[in-house]
Structure 1
Amino acid sequence: MRVILAVPHFPPRHVAGAELRAYRLARWLLAQGHEVQVICIGDVWEGDEAAGLTVSEEIYDGIAVQRLGCSIAAWQGPLQGAYDNPLLLQHLGQAIASFRPDLVHLISGYLMGSAPLRAAREAGVPAVVTLTDFWFLCPTLSLLRGDGRLCWGPEPAECTRCWLNRRRPFQWLESHAPAVTRPVAPWIRRGIFVPAAWTARMAYYSRRQRSLAAELNKAHALMCITRFLAKVHVANGIDPDRFTVIPYRSAGRVESAVGPLAGGDGNGKVRFAYLGKVFPHKGVDVLVQAFRQLPESRATLTIFGAIEPASFEKRLLRMARGNSAIHFAGRYDNDRLGELLERVDVVVAPSVWHENAPRAIVEAFQHGKPVVGSNVGGIAALVDDGRNGLLFERGNPDSLAAQMGRLLTEGALLPALRSNVRRLEVGDAENARVFAVYLRVLSGEGSQDSIGKDSRP
């Protein structure tokens, strides 16, 4: 079988959930004797230099990779180009004609947009999608509004208000005169008392919503890890019959986690850790606030991962100032993850957005570590409260501090949680299930899953 994998980025430059999923799948397909072409975005830049699409080709770990670069100025408008880029569409059409794949597989729509799906359809090639986030519903991927509230799906006026919420003048106005900003969404919806740029933005969000929903509903199969992610998309007009949910399965107990607790750092302290990229929607500020409520003599907190943006890094460092038990370890190499987790007792996943299936939780379970996580979406789907971890109220540092505090004061709790941690089935077994979807699509069978049409998870 010949497969094109389209993905936002690809190792070694970028290593995140979608990229690792694509890399592992490509390696598995090659090992099974299939042919693979990866197409990803290498760079997107401001300005009009090199206004066309740049293409670099390489072999990475035996995988043929095309890395594309594009100037925003070269797109048909920076907004539409973010989801419907004609340069990407043209290149992918050429790539399909040259490589002649049996199937095109898009993993997350971020950066690549709908171009892989349109190009495949125009060439008469089946296309499947793995949803790893909420990009097809939300330009920010997160379904998290600018004021911090969870969102359950696109509504053009609310999307415009969310866009405004992320701009400093509007933020200042909202903090000083909330009565003025409160009715903004209804005003935008009716087109009264608002600048033309706002109504134009609402029209853009409306076009985006219709276009991307139509593309998903034309794909031959949609795959995701959690039923939660599938149900959110179904609630927003995506055909439930196209979904195949490929959840993580238990692969048995972690042998190293069966024996007595190792004793933390040697001084009886419980070692908490955060793993992964440190963005505002990941809730690390909530974690720092919560940890400061714990006695420094009883616990440590290590934050592994690069912090972005710089303003958020300054904020976190300021919040942690004066607490010697909080350590920012910075960027880490994924190959050393097992070594890092040997020095950790509990992993914390404090996200304030819905999440899908956080890789940090998967890695924690693979190494026998319980997880304390927010009671949202994909986190709650993986963490069984009171068995392999603990859940707390999203965005509430007091709730998180209470759960972390239990691990310091209830002596039997941490060993009990640790004994219930089970490894998850990832890698070859998971890839084989994805390949089974390929075979069903090529045979004309399509999806074999049914998730129902209930409106909210």
Structure 2
Amino acid sequence: MKILFTLESFFPTHRAGTEVYVLNLCNYFKAKGHDVSVLITSSEGLKDYSYEGIPIHVFDIPKHAIAEELNGLMPPRGIEAFKVKLLELQPDLIHFHSFGRAINSYHLKEAKALGIRTVFTPHLGGTFCINGDMRLYGRENCNGEVIESRCLSCNLTQKGYSVGLSKVLGRVIKEATHFNPIKNKLPAAFSQAKHRFSELKRTDKYADVIFSIAPWIQKAFEANGIAKAKLIPQGISPVFFKAFHKTQFDPKLIKFIFIGRTHSSKGLHILRDAWNALSNPNAELHIITNPSGGEQTYYDDHKQWAQSKTNIIWNEALKQEEVASYLNGMDVLILPSISNEVAPLVILEAATRKIPVIASDYVAMKDLIQHDIDGLLFKNEDVDDLKNQIQKLIQAPKLIEKYSKAIKRAHSMWEISEMVQEEYSKL
């Protein structure tokens, strides 16, 4: 089978959870003898190249997006170049991973029109949420149902309007975008919730298979009336399942670890303030991170903070094998993410070492952690609550061993790839 995976960016220029997921799928299907390649976008004139023996094809998009394409009033520019690539590559099946500015359901529709089998796996909350954070009015987790007036209201509160006024304006804007005499004269941004709804409907119509990699994603698809979505587990790289030796737990010096990009959405500032507030830090904090584009000051500030503390160890740019080895000596993972998580790989990677997690009660984490059974949850963005959960384990280290015993086995990406292959074969 000739399989084409498509997403907006790929290794080596961009490396995050989605890229890792696709790379693992590529390696599996390549090992099974399939013809595998990847299609990405570039606004910098990047040419086709190869990564770890995988052909990476590139199509050009304009450097700067315009409001009309961002809000669905027109297909993304570059879609003609996308069609040219599909005609050149002639894949039997194309597997889309997340939709964004450069690749979305318009491309899915075009692939389907060419007779190509189509598959879609979302990796971002933006599939359902115009803010991208799945936080209803910034106060609670959202169920992901796209209700245009509610989405617009929620977006307005993020811009500083009161909830009451936002709800009124949301209803007015929604009606205006559906009123023929004026809808084409309104600011493009008014159509972003309408665009999100249309994206889901096109996805439902033109995707042969939709995969949900977390229960909350499956529930969100169901809330939007999309019945063809199939729930499969999230999977992690086989490297974490290789033979390893876990360091013996020492309750006199508990080793906490944060793994993630140095980006405000990952909540490192919440962890910093909580760590600073600990009354008796009989513990170490280890950080494994990478800088994140657009937040250089945030990165610099937190690196300087970490280096000023004797009980914090800062690590950068570790390879997966190095992360797996590092986890052997850790006791508790701290994941204080505020938003932009789907099914955090790092929780599952820690699970291979039976490492319990302290995480925010964001929707993606609540899928993976049972509070006070196999880990702890704290109220999203609540520094005091996070501090209390850390202190709880420092004062009662036996809880770490209790939670560790309750952690369920994680799935390898090889297992997940077998599930994906089974669905492919049905097409």
Superposed pair shares fold, TM > 0.5: yes
* Distance in 2 of aligned mates of 1:56 and 1:254: 36
The counterpart of 1:183, out of the listed 154, 159, 165, is 165
Aligned to 1:438: 424
Query: CA shift at 1:183, angstroms?
Result: 0.8
Q: Does 1:294 align with 2:278?
A: yes
Structure 2 CA distance for partners of 1:83 and 1:40, relative to 1, 3 Å: farther
Match of 1:407 among 393, 403, 413: 393
| Residue 97 of structure 1: aligned partner | 87
- In the other structure, the counterpart of 2:180 is none
User: Shift of residue 72 of structure 1?
Assistant: 4.2
Structure 2: how far apart are the matches of 1:60 and 1:358?
25
Q: Report what 2:368 is aligned to.
A: 382
Q: Give the alignment of 1:358-397 within 5 angstroms.
A: 358-397=344-383
**Contact 2:72–2:192 (CA under 8 A) maintained in structure 1:** no
CA distance change for structure 1 residues 214 and 72 in 2, over 3 Å: closer, same or farther? farther
| Matching residue's letter, 2:99 | G
Q: 2:203 aligns with which of 216, 223, 244?
A: 216
What SS does the aligned partner of 1:92 have? helix
Relative to structure 1, is the Cα distance of residues 305 and 72 closer, same or farther in structure 2, using a 3 angstrom cutoff? same
1:225 paired with 2:213, answer yes
Match of 2:75 in 1: 84
2:87 aligned counterpart, secondary structure: helix
Residue 145 (structure 1) shift: 6.0
2:210 aligns to what SS in structure 1? strand
SS in 2 for 1:135: helix
Counterpart code for 1:183 = L
Q: Distance in 2 between matches of 1:64 and 1:139?
A: 33
Hey, what does 2:13 align to over in structure 1? 13
- CA offsets, 1:95-120, max 9 Å, x none? 22222222111111134222431121
Residues 143 and 353 in structure 1, CA contact (< 8 A), matched pair in contact too: yes
Partner SS, residue 48 of structure 2: strand
Please give the residue correspondences for 1:63-142 in structure 2 after superposition, counting only pairs within 5 Å.
63-73=54-64, 77-80=68-71, 84-87=75-78, 89-110=79-100, 111-142=102-133
The answer on 1:263 being equivalent to 2:254 is: no
Q: Residue 124 of structure 2 contacts residue 340 of structure 2 at CA under 8 Å; is this kept in 1?
A: no
1:283 to 267, 283, 307: 267
Shift of 1:158: 4.9
**Structure-2 residue corresponding to 1:51:** none
Shift of 1:55: 5.3
Counterpart of 2:229? Answer: 243
* Closer, same or farther: CA 56–322 of 1 in aligned 2, 3 Å: closer
Shift of 1:433: 0.6
Q: TM-score, normalised by structure 1?
A: 0.78
- Output the amino acid matched with 1:30: K
* In structure 2, distance between residues paired with 1:270 and 1:307: 26
**CA deviation vs aligned residue, 1:178-211 (integer Å, no higher than 9, x gap):** 6xx851441353259xxx9995245421441232
Farther off after superposition, 418-427 or 151-160:
151-160
Read off the aligned partner of 1:214 and give its amino acid letter: K
Cα offset for 1:286? Answer: 2.1
Residue aligning to 2:178: none
Q: CA RMSD in A?
A: 3.5
**1:24 — aligned with what?**
24
Residue 273, structure 1, aligned to residue 257, structure 2 = yes
Question: Identity of counterpart residues, as a percentage?
Answer: 21
SS at 2:135 equivalent = coil
Displacement after TM superposition at 1:57 (Å): 0.8
Match of 1:338 among 308, 317, 324: 324
Q: How many residues align?
A: 412
Distance in 2, matches of 1:76 and 1:375, equals 33
Deviation at 1:148, TM superposition (A): 6.0
Q: Deviation digits for residues 309-362 of structure 1, max 9, x if unmatched? A: 235446656987975434543443334212332342211112223732101112
State the alpha-carbon separation in 2 of the partners of residues 186 and 199 from structure 1.
17
CA shift in 2, pair 1:409/1:382, >3 Å? same
1:260 Cα deviation (Å)? 7.7
Q: Normalising to structure 2: TM-score of the pair?
A: 0.83
TM-fit CA distance, 1:164: 5.2
Please give the alpha-carbon distance, in whole angstroms, between the structure 2 residues aligned to 1:346 and 1:207: 42
5+ residue gaps, structure 2: 176-182
Relative distance call for 1:33 and 1:413 in structure 2 (3 A) is same
The residue type equivalent to 2:222 in the other structure is V
SS in 2 for 1:373: strand
Query: Are the structure 2 counterparts of residues 212 and 332 from structure 1 closer, same or farther at C-alpha, using a change threshold of 3 Å?
Result: same
Q: In the alignment, what sits opposite 2:53?
A: 62
